[in-house]
Amino acid sequence: MLKVIRYSALALLAMIGGLWGYAWTSRAPGQGVGEAFAERLAAVFGQQMPLPAAGGGGVQLPAGISLGGAFSLTRQDGVAVTERDYAGRWLLVYFGFTYCPDVCPTELGRIADVIDAMGPAGERVTPMLITVDPERDTQAALADYVSRFHPRMQGLTGTPEQVAEVARRYRVFYSRVQRPDMSAYLMDHSSFVYLVGPDGRVRLLFRPETAVEEMVRAIDIQFRTLTSS
Ligand code: NI
């Protein structure tokens, strides 16, 4: 019996390792290995990972999967904040870093566009960048960076442990990458935009490059779902 368990565990480990390797080699250009792995894992396990919602844009979390929740971080103006400071508000959260050459600026720009496209309803949503690079993303660096995207955008940082904790709760993958041809390091990171509800829980995930109109429509459905329940 023990032998069976041991062999099953080994087989599972081998399969996960293989998937990781497959994700590494087959990921799209610019896609983080973590995100690629999550996609391959979803393809194998189906229900275990977020599935596409039926219409409306965004990815709804299947029952039993809960992302988000408690965190303790520092805002770009130096104020310590927790999830309780955002109770009752909607958030559009992105995990990234200010040195990011391409993907982060694109996604943060999209978040700003979504909020503006929502009109007055957009005021219910706080746009937020949580850094995965707390070493370089100081409050001052974040303050300057987020103000370029949207006047209400908040930039949150913390100790490496605080950042690791919030990333874990949102299942964000990130790791430092040092390329031989570059003096500064980069952060490889998953790139979803999270719609967080007034209870601090993630309602929807948006894949990178989801169209602004699609996001606006999906958020509107979430607004209406909550007010009618
Ligand atoms: Ni980035």
Distance 229 CA to ligand 1 centre (A): 36
CA of 56 from ligand 1 middle (Å) equals 25
**Domains of the chain listed by start with CATH number:** 2-48 (no CATH), 72-228 (3.40.30.10)
Q: What is the pLDDT, as a whole number, of residue 53?
A: 46
- Residues 115 and 77: beta-carbon distance below 8 Å: no
Q: State the distance from the centre of ligand 1 to the C-alpha of 132, rounded, in angstroms.
A: 9
Q: What is the helix, strand, coil percentage profile of the chain, to 5?
A: 45, 20, 35
Say what the pLDDT of residue 52 is: 46
Predicted confidence at residue 144, as pLDDT, reads 97
Give distance in angstroms: CA of 7 to centre of ligand 1: 39
| Spatial separation of the C-alpha atoms in residues 23 and 31, rounded to whole Å | 10
For residue 27, the CA-to-ligand 1 centroid distance in Å is: 16
Q: How far is the CA of 96 from the centre of ligand 1 (A)?
A: 5
Higher pLDDT among residues 5 and 123, named by residue: 123
- What is the Cβ-side half-sphere exposure of residue 182, based on CA atoms within 13 angstroms? 10
Q: Return the pLDDT at 22.
A: 59
Inform me whether the pLDDT recorded for 122 exceeds 70.
yes
Separation of 188 CA from ligand 1 center, angstroms?
A: 7
Mean pLDDT of 91-112: 96
What pLDDT sits at residue 228? 67
Q: What is the mean pLDDT of residues 102-109?
A: 94
175 Cα–ligand 1 center, Å: 11
Q: Which pLDDT belongs to residue 89?
A: 97
Alpha carbon of residue 130 to chain centroid: 9
More confident residue, 186 or 10: 186
pLDDT attached to residue 59: 84
CA of 6 to the centre of ligand 1 (A): 39
Q: 107 pLDDT band (50/70/90 cuts)? A: very high
Ligand 1 centre and the CA of 105: distance in Å? 7
CA distance 68 to 115: 21
Distance 155 CA to ligand 1 centre (A): 14
For 175-204, what is the mean pLDDT? 94
Residue 1 C-alpha to ligand 1 middle, in angstroms? 47
- What are residue 212's phi and psi, to 5 degrees? -55, -45
Cβ count near 115 (within 10 Å): 25
Q: What is the 3-state secondary structure (H, E, C) of 111-167?
A: HHHHHHHCHHHHHHEEEEEEECCCCCCCHHHHHHHHHCCCCCCEEEECCHHHHHHHH
Collapsed DSSP state (helix, strand, coil) of residue 29: coil
pLDDT (0 to 100) of residue 54: 39
**190 pLDDT tier (thresholds 50, 70, 90):** very high
- The model's pLDDT over 11-20, given as tens digits with 9 standing for 90+, comes to 555 555 555 5
Q: How many CB atoms lie within 10 A of CB 57?
A: 20
Question: What average pLDDT does this structure show over 187-203?
Answer: 95
d(CA 134, ligand 1 centre) in Å: 14
| Segment 117-133 mean pLDDT | 98
What pLDDT sits at residue 142? Answer: 98
Phi-psi region of 95 (alpha: psi -120 to 50; beta: other; left: phi over 0): beta
